[in-house]
Amino acid sequence: MKNILASVIGVMFFVIAACPCNADPSNDALSSSQPPTTFKLVLSAKENPEKTTNPLDEDYHEDENLDEYANNEIKEERVDIADPLESVNRVTHQFNDKLYFWAVKPVAQGYKEVVPESARISVKNFFSNLGFPARFLSCLLQADLSGAATEARRFTINTVWGIGGLLDPSSGKELNLQEQNTDLGQTLGVWGIGQGFYIVWPVFGPSTPRDTVSIAGNYFLDPVAYLNPWSARMGVNVLDKVNAASLRIGDYEALKDAAVDPYVAFRDAYVQYRYKRVKARQAKWSSSPGPAETSVPANPESSKRGQ
């Protein structure tokens, strides 16, 4: 008797644990996901009575139903950018491509052979720790006080306990202080300044007038820029770039090989990436001062938390 009871409880536990009845509201949607499909089919059949079931014969339709979720930030976005300098940019793009394949990649590969991965990650951590001033300032300028506090704590902890930034104890599970992925270009974006047009800088790569501010700002905010003999500064910068490249060998090649027109592919990837970053920072911004504020106030100071 006891045995049977135990096995019933066991079976129940197993069944409950394995059942996909999580509290996720999407499950409700799942059960209701059938009717709209049929509805759509009926609709399209009306438009086109002699329609076959072959999806190849169906026309492309925009996702009208996505508009209902216009407030949903992950809705499919269509971002584009003006490219008045395309002919010049294509030349610079070629130059950067050659720079990568002829100089950066061979050096990074040699470096990768000699330096073990753990050491390269430490070097990456070190340089990323030095990027603290730009990230901290950007958080402040975006009125993201919690982000700024996170950055300040990260910098202190990683510098002191992370042996000058070589280790990154703050992003571990216990402290969970993640690096704030932001910069001055994003700050301008959060303030409502548009991206402008596409520029490819030699060495620095894809950019826009707005994001060029980051390149310029980093020149003043990066401690490395204050190293005295210029040769030391150059050396450290090259180490930073080569080290970073050694951890990413293959990424550039993969994106390039996948592209039909690499220039356009990189332009689009850059624009999409920056757009989503600014969007994410804006969401953080507008979620802090009050409910449902989607437009960006002209004065960033007015939206400070706690006002």
Rounded-to-integer distance, Cα 303 and Cα 52, Å = 55
How many residues lie near other proteins (CB under 8 A)? Answer: 66
Using a 10 angstrom Cβ sphere, with 0-12 exposed, 13-18 middle and 19 or more buried, the burial of residue 145 is: middle
CB of 248 to other proteins, least distance (A): 8
Near other proteins by CB under 8 A, which window of 140-148, 186-194, 226-234, 273-281? 273-281
DSSP track, 195-219: --B-EEETTTEEE-HHHHHHHHHHH
Backbone region of residue 163 per phi and psi (left: phi > 0; alpha: psi in -120 to 50; beta: other values): left
Rounded Cα gap, residues 177 and 147, in angstroms: 9
Query: 31-61 burial by CB neighbour count: b if 16+ within 10 A, else e?
Result: eeeeeeeeeeeeeeeeeeeeeeeeeeeeeee
**Piece in contact with other proteins (CB under 8 A), picked from 49-57, 103-111, 158-166, 297-305:** 49-57
Residue 287 contacts other proteins per CB under 8 A: no
In the complex with other proteins, which residue's Cβ is closer, 12 or 91?
Answer: 12
- CA torsion 283-289-295-301 (nearest 10°) is -110
Residue selected from 276, 289, 297, 303 as contacting other proteins according to rule CB under 8 A: 276
As to burial, measured by CB atoms within 10 angstroms (0-12 exposed, 13-18 middle, 19+ buried), residue 220 is exposed
- Selected from 50, 63, 113, 301, the binder of other proteins by CB under 8 A is 63
Q: Please, which of residues 183-202 interact with other proteins by CB under 8 A? A: none
114 binds other proteins (CB under 8 A): no
Which residue's CB is nearer to other proteins, number 261 or number 293?
261
Q: What are phi and psi of 258, to 5 degrees?
A: -75, -20
Stretch that binds other proteins, among 151-159, 192-200, 209-217, 261-269 (CB under 8 A): 261-269
65 is a contact residue toward other proteins (CB under 8 A): yes
CB of 67 to other proteins, least distance (A): 9
Segment interacting with other proteins (CB under 8 A) among 4-12, 88-96, 156-164, 289-297 = 4-12
Q: Name which position in 72, 228, 231, 295 contacts other proteins (CB under 8 A).
A: 72
Nearer to other proteins, 32 or 228 (CB): 32
Q: Are strands 205-207 and 199-201 parallel, antiparallel or unpaired?
A: antiparallel
Query: Does the protein bind other proteins through residue 254 (CB under 8 A)?
Result: yes
Regarding 8 and contact with other proteins (CB under 8 A), the answer is: yes
Neighbours of 68 (CB within 10 A): 9
Q: Is 119 left (phi over 0), alpha (psi -120 to 50) or beta?
A: alpha
- Nearest-angstrom CA–CA distance, 120 and 97: 24
Contact flag: residue 172 with other proteins (CB under 8 A): no
Binding to other proteins (CB under 8 A) within 131-170 occurs at none
Residues that bind other proteins (CB under 8 A): 1, 4-5, 7-8, 11-12, 15-16, 19-21, 24-27, 29-34, 36-37, 54-60, 62-63, 65-66, 68-69, 72, 74-80, 117, 120-121, 124, 247, 250, 254, 257-261, 264-265, 267-269, 272-273, 276-277
